[in-house]
Amino acid sequence: MLSAFVRAFRTPDLRRKLLFTIAIMVVFRIGSFLPTPGVSYSNVQVCIEQSGSDSGVLGIVNLFSGGALLQLSVFALGIMPYITASIIVQLLRVVIPRFEALHKEGQSGTAKLTQYTRYLTIGLAVLQSTTVIITARNGGLFTGCSVEVIPDGSIQTTALMILTMTAGTGLIMWLGELITERGVGNGMSLLIFTSIAAQFPSAMWSIAGGSGGLGAFAIVLLIIILVIGLVVFVEQSQRRVPVQYAKRMVGRRTYGGSSTYIPIKINMAGVIPVIFASSLLQVPALLAGFGDQTAGWKQWVANNLANQGAPLHIGLYVLLIVFFCYFYTAITFNPDEVADNMKKYGGFIPGIRAGKPTAEYLDYVITRITAPGSIYLALVALIPTIAFIVLGVGTSIPFGGSSILIVVGVGLETVKQIESQLQQRHYEGFLR
C-alpha cells in the first residue's frame, strides 16, 4: 500500500491532484481557527477550559466543523448547512414533482438541483449562524462559563458576525467543489473527513490524560480498531440480486443475453439516519436551554432526553435510527423504477416475472435486508453512549457513531478512486 502511494506521487497528473487536495484541506483547517469579528478569543479559550470539549446540544455541528464551532471561528458552521440543504432537496423530490423531473433530466437537471442546494445552503447558514450567536450570547454554548465570549451585543456587531459565518460557509462550499473538480475524491466528504480526523489526536490525548489513564486509552483504542474492522466488513457487504438480459436481434447483430446483478448494500442509508435521529433528539434540549432553568419540564428534559445515558434517550435514539433507515432507503431506492427500467431493456430476475412481481420482490428484499442494517447502524451509533456508561469517556471517545461511518466510508471511496486512476496508468493498485 505504501509503495502504491509512492507510485501515485510519481505520476505527474495524479500528484498534482493529490497535492491540490491536501492544500485545500490545509486552507480549511486554517479557517477553523480564525476568530469571527466581535468574538473575544481569549474568553473563548477560558470557556473551553472551564466547560470542557463537549458543546452540548450543538455537538454534531461542532463535530462536522472540526471543533470550529466552539472557537466561534469564520468556519464555525462547517459543512453542516450544505449537508442539511442536500438532504432537504433530496427529500423534496418525493413531495415536489418538479424536483423529481429535474432529477430524471440527467446532467442539466442535476446542475439545477445543485443550484437550488447552494441557495438553500446560504439561507440555512444565515439561520444557523443567528442561532449560534444567540446561543453563545445567552451562555448556552458553554456550560458553567464565567466570562462573555461576545462582549459587544450591538446590532452592527451581530450582523457582521452573521455575514462572516455565512460567507465562511459559502467559501467551504466552494472549496469542496474545487476538490471534486480538480482534486481526488468527493470534496464535501473529504472536508468532513478532515474535520473529524483533526479531532482524533486531542480526543485520544484527553482520554490518556484523564482519570482512566493508559488503561482507558488502550481499551478505547482496541474498541476503535474492532469497530473500524466491523464497519469496513458491513459497508462492503452486498446482497447481489441476479439479473438476466434476453437476447434480441437488431439488424444482423445480437444484443443482450448477458448476466449481471443488482448490488444491494446492507446499509443503503449511510450515516443519514444517525444525523436525523441526533438532530431530532437535540431539539427539546435546545428549546429547554432558553428561559428559566428551574421549570419542572426542563428538568425532565435534561434528565431524560438531554442525558445520553438515560434509558428513554437510548430507546428513542434506536427507534429513530431504525425508522429513518427504512424511510431514507425507501426514498433513495425505488423498486418500481428499477423494475420498469429492467423491463424496458429486456432484463428479468430468474424465476420472477417482469413488471410488478419484480418490483414486489425487490421491495421484499430491501425490507428484509434493511432490518439488520438498521440494527447495525444503531449499535455503531451507541458506541459513545456505551463508553460513557462503562468507561466514563463517552463525550471524548473519537470515531464514535456517525463519525466512524463517515471516516471509514470516505476513506474507502477515496482509496478506490486513487486505485482506479493507478490502474488506468498500468500500475498495481492498493489491492492485490
Question: pLDDT tens digits for 300-314?
Answer: 777 777 666 678 888
Q: How many CB atoms lie under 10 A from the CB of residue 277?
A: 25
Closest CA to 48 of 76, 67, 29: 67
Confidence (pLDDT) at 405: 79
User: If you write DSSP's letter for every residue of 124-153 in order, what string do you get?
Assistant: HHHHHHHHHHHHHHTT-SSTT--S-S----
Element (H, E) at 264: strand 259-265
Burial 47-56 (b: 16+ CB within 10 A, else e): bbeebebebb
Residue-wise pLDDT tens digits, 111-155: 888 899 999 999 999 988 888 888 777 766 666 676 777 877 788
How much is the CA Rg of the chain, to the nearest whole Å? 24
How distant, in Å, are the alpha carbons of 18, 68, 177 from that of 418?
9, 29, 18
Confidence (pLDDT) at 398: 47
CATH number of the domain at 1-183, out of 3.30.420.40, 3.90.660.10, 3.40.50.920, 1.10.3370.10? 1.10.3370.10
For the chain, the structural domain boundaries read 1-183, 200-431
The two domains 1-183 and 200-431 share their CATH topology (first three levels equal): yes
Closest CA to 204 of 220, 228, 225, 182: 220
List helix spans (H) across 138-247: 155-182, 187-198, 200-208, 213-236
Residue 88's SS3 state is helix
Query: Could you give the angle at the alpha carbon of 29 between the alpha carbons of 26 and 33, nearest 5°?
Result: 135
User: Residue 62 in contact with residue 70, Cβ under 8 Å?
Assistant: yes
| Distance of alpha carbon 363 from the chain centroid | 26
- CA atoms of 28 and 379, how far apart (whole Å): 32
What percent of the chain has a predicted confidence (pLDDT) above 90?
Answer: 9
User: Residue 34 in contact with residue 166, Cβ under 8 Å?
Assistant: no
Q: Which of 83-97, 182-196, 375-389 has the lowest mean pLDDT?
A: 375-389
Q: How many CB atoms lie under 10 A from the CB of residue 162?
A: 19
Between 175 and 424, name the one with better pLDDT: 175
User: Residue 241 in contact with residue 333, Cβ under 8 Å?
Assistant: no
**CATH 3.10.20.90 describes domain 200-431:** no
How distant, in Å, are the alpha carbons of 130, 204, 349, 357 from that of 219?
40, 11, 47, 50
Residue 243's SS3 state is strand
pTM equals 0.74
- CA atoms of 279 and 276, how far apart (whole Å): 5
Confidence (pLDDT) at 193: 84
Phi, psi of 344 (to 5 degrees): -65, -35
Closest CA to 9 of 184, 189, 181: 184
Residue-wise pLDDT tens digits, 61-74: 666 666 667 777 88
- CA atoms of 61 and 69, how far apart (whole Å): 7
